[in-house]
Structure 1
Amino acid sequence: MKNIQKVLLPLSGTSNAEAALATGLLFARQFGGHVAALHVRADSRDVAPLAGEGLSGAMVEEMMSAAEREGARRSLAVRELFDHFTAGNEVTVTGPIPPFHTNPVGSATASFVTMTGREHEVITFRARLCDVTVVPHPDSGDEVSSSETLHAILFDSGRPVVIAPRRAPATAGRRICIAWNGTAEATAALHHILPWAAEAEAVRILYSGDYQRRGPEARHAADYLAIHGIHADLLEFGNTGETVGASLLSACREFNADMLAMGAYSHSRLRQLILGGVTRHVLENAELPVLMSR
């Protein structure tokens, strides 16, 4: 099954970028696909409106120049990391539209493009025509909450997002856990994980009374997978004294899962950010690739 052919990999800097590249490469090789690395440089002209806020033209000009220098430095660092990674992993670098017919399963190609604009808009628009977007793991809980780009992809691309772990995984998509709570978001994740689940060694559906919402039960999700020729066992997770998010990750570790699929933000995003929630906990603490869908 070669459903995953284009993996978008936005790189805003070098933090956790190598682990994201490794995750994207695992996916691309599994399906004989392509890793499309994308770096978005901020447009220094976006500083110009500050001239109307009491700053002189000379001050704004200097700010624009500084922003341009910083953008050039960051772009160079990201490109050097990409070149080092692809050379070290013997990945053929092509143009943005590679010859896919030459990519057998087990191999992959990669490309690198730099664009100028607002990062969350550029990446979201490009993600709409990719099979999956792999994003580097944010460094801190604050970045998870405020990551405009991650939220934009989740809410506006219509495509699944995989948050890569902080450390490069040895495998991804061989032992899969699917978090099920009956929501439309969980349903989207179930559909988006199908290409991996069809190739996986083992699949487990995780459910909990504390996590379940109005909608189909976990056994119905298992029946749906069975129609696609995918066997999945069921496990009710939950540990006294642990939050739902912590219990979910504990169940993944017990299964030796190397990938988790789940819906994002079953409640409103605002409530999630204020009160925490399963999505936030998993984003901050997962040590395996996490596919999220809306």
Structure 2
Amino acid sequence: MSIRTILVVLEADTAVEVLLDGALEIAGTMESHLEVLLLQSDPEQLLADCAFTPLGSIPIEAVTAARDASATAIRDRFTAWRAARELPVDIVDHKLRTTYARWSNWQGPAEIGLLRRGRLADVIVMAGQPRRLGLSSALIDTALFDSGRPVLFLPDKPIGPPLGRVALAWNDSLQAVRCLACSMPFLHEAERVYVFSVGSADALPGRDRASIPAEDVAEALSWQGIKGTLVRLAPQADETVGARLLREVAELDVGLLALGAFTHSRVREALLGGVTRHVLDHATIPLLMIH
């Protein structure tokens, strides 16, 4: 799998320049291009989302004007960002490896706009730590569960080289298998690769019982020319798997963590917490996820 198209999803509260810089770091290495998409909800939906604002107290024309003004300001920031980095607006001389940045926006239900564009991208880039940055859970669910594409969550601060050290979290789940496949371009570019053994997924319903140990994953990577260092993670009694995973990431100075998302049901994750939710809420490095 090659990475040619990276869809960067922006919302009104997104740290625009930081997110674009992080995506460009990946695009420059992968010789891919950026499709930048601003999602704008309908005015009616914006009013409905204002739970503490009585319906009818704000004219819909005012909501529309505010939304459009915000979109113009974000596009101006994007244009200035692109000019400062001397990026073309489209492909140059029919070269597929042109790194350019192209703008578009979607007005309407955000989930539909994300799917219309995201399903045709090789990777979807979104802001990390979504609760703090205002991304809705519905939009994250859409990206992870319905797009069929890997999602790269980037932090809201400048990042170091994300492909210096890359870690793959392995728990023998179907999601981990999918993550292994979609992370191959990133693993090939990494200076060093770690395979984190975070236990098995024996409790998952419908498994085929064909347990694959992390050692086999590391060996399979070697046949791709990738030398993976096996790291066994054993959480302490008072430590969750997600917390243990992030502690190891920090100790090894990992720049990108790849893991399967939501190996348990969303209901269980919401009620009891889970690795995916903990990592999404607390990671300060790029996360590559797929369900």
**Smaller-chain TM-score range?**
0.7 to 0.9
Cα deviation code 1:250-284 (max 9, x no counterpart): 11122211100000001101111221111111101
- Aligned-pair distance for 1:14? 4.2
1:121 aligns with 2:107: no
- Aligned-pair distance for 1:101? 4.3
Of 161, 173, 190, the residue aligned with 1:171 is 161
Specify every segment of 5 or more residues in structure 2 that has no aligned partner in the other structure, as ranges.
49-53, 203-210
Match of 1:213 in 2: 201
Cα deviation code 1:212-259 (max 9, x no counterpart): 213311112112212222110101113423211111011112221110
Of 179, 183, 208, the residue aligned with 1:189 is 179
- What SS is found at the alignment partner of 1:172? coil
Distance 1:236 1:83, change over 3 A: same
Match of 1:252 in 2: 249
- What SS is found at the alignment partner of 2:2? coil
Instruction: Write the distance in 2 (CA, Å) between the matches of 1:84 and 1:75.
Output: 14
Cα deviation code 1:79-124 (max 9, x no counterpart): 1221222223222223xxx3484365xx721011012111111112
1:148 aligns with 2:141: no
- Residues 178, 261 of structure 1: 8 Å contact kept: yes
- What SS is found at the alignment partner of 2:168? strand
- What SS is found at the alignment partner of 2:163? coil
More helix by share: 1
Identity of aligned residues (%): 30
- Aligned-pair distance for 1:44? 2.9
Of 157, 174, 192, the residue aligned with 2:147 is 157
Match of 2:81 in 1: 85
CA-atom RMSD, angstroms? 2.4
Which deviates more from structure 2 when the two are superposed, residues 36-45 or residues 250-259?
36-45
Code of the aligned partner of 1:256: D
Could you tell me the TM-score, scaled by structure 2's length? 0.87
Distance 1:47 1:231, change over 3 A: closer
Instruction: Write the distance in 1 (CA, Å) between the matches of 2:220 and 2:155.
Output: 29
- Aligned-pair distance for 1:67? 2.2
- What SS is found at the alignment partner of 1:262? strand
Give runs of aligned pairs for residues 7-22 of structure 1, distance below 5 A. Answer: 7-22=6-21
- Residues 178, 206 of structure 1: 8 Å contact kept: yes
- Residues 19, 136 of structure 1: 8 Å contact kept: no
1:284 aligns with 2:274: no
Of 178, 188, 200, the residue aligned with 2:190 is 200
- Aligned-pair distance for 1:25? 0.4
Specify every segment of 5 or more residues in structure 1 that has no aligned partner in the other structure, as ranges.
50-54
Instruction: Write the distance in 2 (CA, Å) between the matches of 1:185 and 1:100.
Output: 39
Could you tell me the TM-score, scaled by structure 1's length? 0.86
- Residues 7, 134 of structure 1: 8 Å contact kept: yes
Instruction: Write the distance in 2 (CA, Å) between the matches of 1:47 and 1:72.
Output: 12
- Residues 238, 248 of structure 1: 8 Å contact kept: no
Give runs of aligned pairs for residues 127-138 of structure 1, distance below 5 A. Answer: 127-138=118-129
- Residues 6, 132 of structure 1: 8 Å contact kept: yes
Instruction: Write the distance in 1 (CA, Å) between the matches of 2:133 and 2:240.
Output: 19
- Aligned-pair distance for 1:200? 1.2
Instruction: Write the distance in 2 (CA, Å) between the matches of 1:75 and 1:138.
Output: 22
